[in-house]
Amino acid sequence: MTTVEPRSAVARPGRIPRPRAGRPDERDAELERLRGENAALRAQVQSRADELDVATRMLAARAQTMTSVIDAVTEQSIIGTDRDGVIRVWNPGAEKMLGLPRTEVVRKRSIVEFHVPDELEAEAAACGSAAGLAALVHAAQEHGSDVRDWTYVAADGQERTVSVAVTPRSDDRGVHAGWNFVGTDMTEARATERMKDQFVSLISHELRTPLTSILGYLELVLDEDGEPLTDEQRTYLTTVERNADRLLRLVGDLLFTAQVDAGRFSLDPRDVELAGVVRAAEETARVTADTAGVEIVVELPEQGVVVPGDAVRLGQACDNLVSNAVKFTPAGGRVTLSVRSGWAAPDGTVSAEPRPGADPVAQLAVTDTGMGIPSGEQTKLFTRFFRSSTARRNAVPGVGLGLAITKAITTAHGGTLDVVSAEGEGTTFTLTLPRATA
C-alpha cells in the first residue's frame, strides 16, 4: 500500500517555505536585524577606510614636506643613516659639502667613510667604545644628542671642520632606526678664531715685555734719592706709571682670555677663606672708591667660609666685580661686599638651612646702588668685549673683559655667576661656589 504525503507538507522547488501556521514571524525579524548589522558594519568599514585614506594622505604630505625642507637646506649637510651607519638620507647641503651626488651615496656608502680614521680611533680610545660608528654616536646614545666638531673628508680629499649634531632616529612605530647627522661647516670660523687667538697672544706678549721694562725704570726714577724730583716731575711720572699699570692689566686680561679659549686655563686648588678674598678686594678698591665718593661696606659672617679653589683667581674675580661696582656707582652711592654660606638644591635655589639632597655652597655677593643694567642686555654681560648701553652712555671706562674673565673663573671652580639688576636702581652679582665642609 502506497502512502501519499499530504500535499500541503511538500515544498515546491525554488520557493522559501512559509512559516508554519501559528509561529511568529521570527525569521523575518532576524533577517531584518542581520541586514541592519550588515549595514552598520559596512558604514563602519567605510568610515575606517576613509580615515585610513586621510591618514595615508597626511603621512604622504608630511613626508613630502619633510623632504622638501631637507632638500631646501643647502648650507648644512643633513645625513640620515640606518642603525649600521649606511646612508639613507643625503640632502643638497651634503652634496655641496662633500662633493658627491645623492645617487652615489644613498644605500651605497657609510657615514664613517667621510670621517678621518685617526680621529675616530682617538675618540673610541677616549670613550672606551668600538671604533667606527660607535665612536660617532656613543655620546648621543648616552645623552640623547651630541654636538661637537668633527673632520669631514670630501670626495676630492679636502678636509673640513664641521660642527655635527647627532641625534637618534626612530621609525613610525617608535623603534630605533638609525641616526641623524646635521653638520655646519666651521672651517673658516675655526681658522679665524685660531688666528685671532694667535694674534692676541702675540700682541700681548709683545706688549708685556716693554711695559714691564717701563714700569721697572719708572720705579727706579720715582724712588731715586740722589736727585730728588720736582713735584711736577713726580706728578707726570706717577701718571705714566698709573697708565702703564693699566695697560699691563689689560694685557694680562687678553692673555687670560686666550688661555681660556685655548683650554690652557689651569687652577692651583687649595682651601680658600673667602673673608680674606673680600678684604683684599675692598682694600684694593678703597682708594678709587674714596676718590669717587663711593662707600664700601663689608659684611662677613662670624664663622669663616672656606671653598676649595685658586686664591689668586678667586681674588681676580672678586676684584673685577668690586671694580665694576665702584665704576658704575655715582658719588654718594654704596657698594656692599657680603659672604654667606648656604645649601643649594638641585633646582639651583639656595637656602640658609640644610635640606635633603642639597649641597653646601658659599655665596660672595657684590651689590651696588649704581646705574643698573637694562634687562635686555643682561644675558650678554659675560660676552667678551660687550659693554652695556649704560656704560657707553655714561662714559664708564673699560673694554668689556672683566665679567667674561670672572665668569670663566667661576665656571672653572664649578660655580655659577648670577646677576640681578634694574636700570637706575643698582646691580647685584652673586658668585656661588661649592663649599668645603669639615
pLDDT tens for each residue of 282-337: 998 998 899 999 999 999 998 889 999 999 899 999 999 999 999 989 999 999 99
Do 417 and 278 lie in one domain? The reply is: yes
Do 310 and 406 lie in one domain? The reply is: yes
Do 196 and 289 lie in one domain? The reply is: no
pTM: 0.55
Q: Is residue 35 part of a domain?
A: no
Q: Is residue 59 part of a domain?
A: no
- pLDDT tens for residues 331-369? 999 999 999 999 988 888 888 888 888 899 999 999 999
Closest CA to 94 of 117, 121, 118, 113: 113
Local structure of 41: helix, strand or coil = helix
Three-class DSSP labels, 215-246: HHHHHHHHHCCCCCCCHHHHHHHHHHHHHHHH
Domain end point (choices 261, 288, 309)? 261
Do 382 and 352 lie in one domain? The reply is: yes
Domain end point (choices 123, 158, 185)? 185
Do 251 and 376 lie in one domain? The reply is: no
Do 251 and 281 lie in one domain? The reply is: no
137: confidence class by pLDDT, cuts 50, 70, 90: very high
Select the more confidently predicted residue: 236 or 62: 236
Do 246 and 372 lie in one domain? The reply is: no
Contacts of 322 (CB under 8 A, 6+ apart): 281, 282, 284, 285, 296, 335, 337, 366
Of 29-38, 267-276, 384-393, 414-423, which range is least confident?
384-393
Q: Is residue 291 part of a domain?
A: yes
Look up the domain containing 104 and give its range: 69-185
Domain end point (choices 261, 281, 296)? 261
Give the span between the Cα atoms of 266 and 409, in whole angstroms: 10
6: confidence class by pLDDT, cuts 50, 70, 90: very low
Do 180 and 194 lie in one domain? The reply is: no
Cβ atoms of 150 and 115 closer than 8 Å: yes
Q: Is residue 278 part of a domain?
A: yes
Do 429 and 392 lie in one domain? The reply is: yes
pLDDT of residue 179 exceeding 60, the answer is yes
Domain containing residue 82: CATH number: 3.30.450.20
Burial of 243 (0-12, 13-18, 19+ CB in 10 A): exposed
Do 195 and 146 lie in one domain? The reply is: no
CA dist 418 → 59, 78, 379, 403, 432 (Å): 46, 37, 10, 11, 8
Give the span between the Cα atoms of 263 and 269, in whole angstroms: 17
Do 286 and 352 lie in one domain? The reply is: yes
Based on the structure, what is the number of domains in the chain? Answer: 3
- pLDDT tens for residues 53-83? 777 777 666 656 656 656 666 789 999 999 9
pLDDT of residue 2: 46
